[in-house]
Amino acid sequence: MRDAEKPNETLGKIDTKILNRKKISIAIDTTEIPYFGTRDEWIHYSSTRKCYVHRHIVAAAIDVPRKIPLSIRPISALGGHADAVEAALRDVERLGLEVEVVYLDRGFFSVEVMEVLTKRGVPSAIGARRAAVCM
């Protein structure tokens, strides 16, 4: 995670010049980059890509004319989405920005992620998986 600090500092310097407000809406999502080297705790198997990947979490400002990345961090195979969301929100706050609302896709739908967002008092919208309901 420490390796992500320097690129995020550089992103922050650029982003604060582009953004001309303090409250923003952000989207948080993951991205996968194929990897064919030695596997360790930072490597995941992607069933959709059918190969091993480096997985990153990306937070981006979405209520501006162009989507602006605010934070990019690697996700360890041993860590969960809740820790990654917490780190992304901390990165955004370090830029002096206040998160108005967070949008996440259904891959983030978990009790742990909801607890992080509730604890921080951040309004959010998370896609949910469709499930059969038995009565």
Over residues 3-62, the pLDDT tens digits come to 666 676 766 666 666 666 678 899 999 989 999 989 888 888 988 889 999 889 999 999
Decide if 132 is inside a domain: no
Decide if 49 is inside a domain: no
Over residues 88-125, the pLDDT tens digits come to 999 899 888 899 999 998 888 889 999 999 999 999 99
pTM for this entry? 0.80
The label of the residue with tokens 């038995």 reads: 134
Decide if 131 is inside a domain: no
CA distance linking residue 71 with residue 62, whole number of Å? 13
For residue 18, the model assigns a pLDDT of 65
> Which of 50 and 79 is assigned the larger pLDDT?
50
With contact defined as beta carbons under 8 Å apart, do 39 and 52 qualify? yes
Q: Domain total for the chain? A: 1
DSSP state of 35: -
Q: Which residues span the domain enclosing 96?
A: 2-29+58-126
For residue 114, the model assigns a pLDDT of 92
